[in-house]
Structure formats: C-alpha cells, structure tokens
Structure 1
Amino acid sequence: MSRRLNYRAGAVAALLAISLCFFGSVRACTIGENVALELPFNATALSTADRRAIAGAVGEAKKWPNVQIQAIVMAGAYIGERNLEELQDRRGQVVKAYLRKLGIRSEYIMIDPTTLTEGYVVKRRDGSPTVRQIEIELTPICKGSCAWMCDDPRVTPRSRVINP
C-alpha cells in the first residue's frame, strides 16, 4: 500500500477517534476496494492482468447496494521515467477510459497526477525497483452517511465496526 493510501487510512482513523471523543458513540467502518499496478517504465498501456485486477475490484464494488461508485486514480510517473507530465496524463486517461467501460460514471472518476520519488520505490529481493505508478481507490457514494452499509451482509468492510 502506498504512503498516500496509508496517509488516507490514518486520517480516517484519526477523524473517527476524534469524533468518538467529541460526540460519544460512533458507528462506522471502512468500505472500499483498492488496486495498485506496476507498469513497465515509460509505458501507458494496461496489461491483461492489470485489466483483470481493475475489473475484479470494480466487480466487488458493484456488489455494494444502492450506491454509486467513486474512483480516485493516482496516475503516477516515477522520476526515472521520461516525460513525467505526459505519462501521468496518459496513464490517468487510460485508466479512466477503462473504468468508464466497466460502468463507473465519468463524473465520479477523479485523476490525481503524481510524481513518484524514491520514497515510492520498493526493492525486490533481487534489488530491482518496484514502482506502482497506478493506484485506484473505489469508494461508495451514499446519500447522507454510508454507516448503514457496515451491517449489510452484501458488503465486506475493510475495517471493523467501531461501536463502543
């Protein structure tokens, strides 16, 4: 999981803890699907395996009842690649087009172009770098709160219910 997703998860946990302190009982869980993809350097095309991973996450998200799906796409380019801004833009557009093909509405797809520095690199056992240039976070868009989804048997939360 990237630092950005770790940061978001930490921020959500902190907000839940603060609201528990101020407002008493909190009932919430985290619902979402994530996909992280490593592309060959300087490439923008999605492989068959990449498309399967995205389709699998979208398929799971489509099980969420009575909600729209929002996609936040981190379209990254590693500082060691050429034409960073062009790569970020093209990768974002390729993923957006595929998400639209899978049924996610265009207005619910946000692209976050990101320049990936050494902090995003994970070394494999053989010493070669792993850089996940694409990260997709799928979340439900609910009318009001999504807390009702925590107990719905059709939904598998990523975190447990907070109910002191």
Structure 2
Amino acid sequence: MTSYNEKKKMKSWCNALVAALALSACLCGSAHACRFLENVELRLPFNTTALSREDRRVIANAVSRAKRWPDVQIQAIVIAGAYIGERDLDDLQERRGENVQAYLRKLGIKSKNIYIEPKTLTDVFAHKLSDGTIRVQQIEIELSPICKEGSCEWMCDDPRLWPPGTPIDP
C-alpha cells in the first residue's frame, strides 16, 4: 500500500507532466493542414453533351487559377453525370466525360492526370424549381495539385499563393 506522501509525490509528478505537455503543445504550435482546390459545377440542357461558351469560360478560369500553383502538375477529377430523366444515360456520361477531358487537355492538363467518373444522378441530385422545372448539375470538375514529393504541405506557407487563392482548411 502506498503512503500518503508517495501519492502526493505521484500526483505532483503527473501534474508537472501534464503541464509540460500542454506547454510544449503551445510552444510548438498546432498541426495545420491545408488543401488547394478549384471546383467547377456545370448544368447542361437535358440530353446534350456540348459545352457552351460560358461552360468553357468557367472551366478555363478555374484551370488558369490552378496554373498559378508553382512547381506542381494539375490533376482533374471529372464527375460526368446523367440524370435519370435523360435518355441514354451511359452514352451521355461517356460523351460528357470525353468532351470535358478534351477541353482540359486543350487547356494544358495532361491526359494521365484526368480521371473521369461516370455517375447516374437520381432525384436526390435534382433541384426542383417552383415552376416545375428540374435543374441538375451533370458535370463536376475538381482540380488539385500533384506535388513532386507526394505532399503539398509546403504550399500552405508559400507567400506566392496568398491571398488570391485561399486554401481550404479541412
């Protein structure tokens, strides 16, 4: 059985350890992570696959912002969707994905860095307006950096990237 003095010493030692850990956490700062992303969401007329001039402008602006990231390649993940109310869903998904991929390549993103994910969009993805029309964003594009060392953490502290392109803090 431990004596009262031993318990008191142990409690003091534990309190000192907790205080030391808290102090070191404060002095070392907290771990901080950030992510750089550019997102595009497009709504096409039903049963069409062509990108409008406005769609191309929105995509080009996002790619232009992503190209400001220094010393990285750009990865594009494209969700090529088709709403269940459209015809030939598989064909629409494939052709929409191909059109976006071709345009991204034209803007300088390497084919090997473009990933197309076909998706069937159900009513969960639809926004019904008061006049009864349905709006669905059939195409989503996420641009992110591919860093040489596998980690882009250095970008969080790069002054060339602040403030115009603000990172997303997860």
Scaled by the length of structure 2, what TM-score is found? 0.77
- Matches of 2:146 and 2:155, distance apart in 1: 11
Which residue number in structure 1 is paired with residue 157 of structure 2? 151
Deviations 1:69-113 (A, max 9, x none): 000000000000000000000000000000000000000000000
Mapping for residues 60-71 of structure 1, pairs under 5 Å: 60-71=65-76
2:52 counterpart residue number? 47
Determine helix, strand or coil for the equivalent of 2:82: strand
What corresponds to 1:15 in structure 2?
none
Quick one: which amino acid aligns to residue 85 of structure 2?
G
Identity percentage over the alignment?
Answer: 64
Match of 1:107 in 2: 112
What is the CA–CA distance in structure 2 between the aligned matches of 1:80 and 1:50, rounded to whole Å? 22
Asked whether 1:59 is paired with 2:68, we answer: no
- Identify the residue that residue 42 of structure 2 maps to in structure 1: 37
**AA partner of residue 149 (structure 1):** M
8 Å contact kept, 1:29–1:157: no
8 A contact 1:89–1:113 mirrored in 2:
yes
* Structure 2: stretches of 5+ with no match in the other structure: 1-28
Question: Paired residue for 2:78?
Answer: 73
Give the partner amino acid of 1:136.
I
Question: 1: CA distance between counterparts of 2:57 and 2:159?
Answer: 25
SS in structure 1 opposite 2:159?
coil
Aligned residues: 138
Q: Give me the whole-angstrom Cα distance separating, in 2, the residues matched to 1:59 and 1:49.
A: 15
How is 1:104-143 mapped onto 2 (pairs within 5 angstroms)?
Answer: 104-143=109-148
Q: Read off the aligned partner of 1:34 and give its amino acid letter.
A: N
Rounded Cα–Cα distance in structure 1 between residues aligned with 2:135 and 2:111:
30
| SS of equivalent residue, structure 2 residue 160 | coil
TM-score of the superposed pair, with normalisation by structure 1: 0.79
Q: Distance in 1 between matches of 2:130 and 2:39?
A: 24
TM-fit CA distance, 1:54: 0.2
Q: Counterpart amino acid of 2:156?
A: C
Aligned to 2:94: 89
Output the aligned Cα RMSD.
1.6
Gaps of 5+ in 1: 1-23
Which deviates more from structure 2 when the two are superposed, residues 61-70 or residues 140-149?
140-149
Q: How much has 1:125 moved relative to structure 2?
A: 4.6
